Amino acid sequence: MAGFVDIVDALGGIDMYVPKTVPSPGNPRNAKHQVPSAILKGQQHMDGTLALAYARTRSGDNDYNRMGRQRCVLAAISDAATPLALATGIPALLKAFGDGVHTDIPRKELGDFAKIVHNYADTNGTAAVRTLHLAPPLVKPSRWDPAEVRSLVSAVLTPQPPPEFTGELPVLADSCTT
**Looking at the predicted structure, is the pLDDT value of residue 178 above 60?**
no
Max distance between CA atoms of the chain, in angstroms, equals 50
pLDDT of residue 173: 42
Work out the average pLDDT over 159-163.
59
Angstrom distances, CA of residue 34 to CA of 25, 37, 50, 167: 11, 9, 9, 47
pLDDT tens per residue, range 47-75: 999 999 999 988 878 888 888 889 889 88
Q: Which of 6, 11, 86 is nearest to 49 (CA)?
A: 6
**Looking at the predicted structure, is the pLDDT value of residue 158 above 60?**
yes
Threshold 0.85, pTM exceeds: no
Average pLDDT for the chain: 80
Residue type at 1? Answer: M
Whole-number Å distance between alpha carbons of 147 and 89 = 47
Q: What are the domain boundaries of the chain?
A: 2-122, 130-178
> In the CATH scheme, what is the homologous superfamily, with its name and number, of domain 2-122?
LCP protein (3.40.630.190)
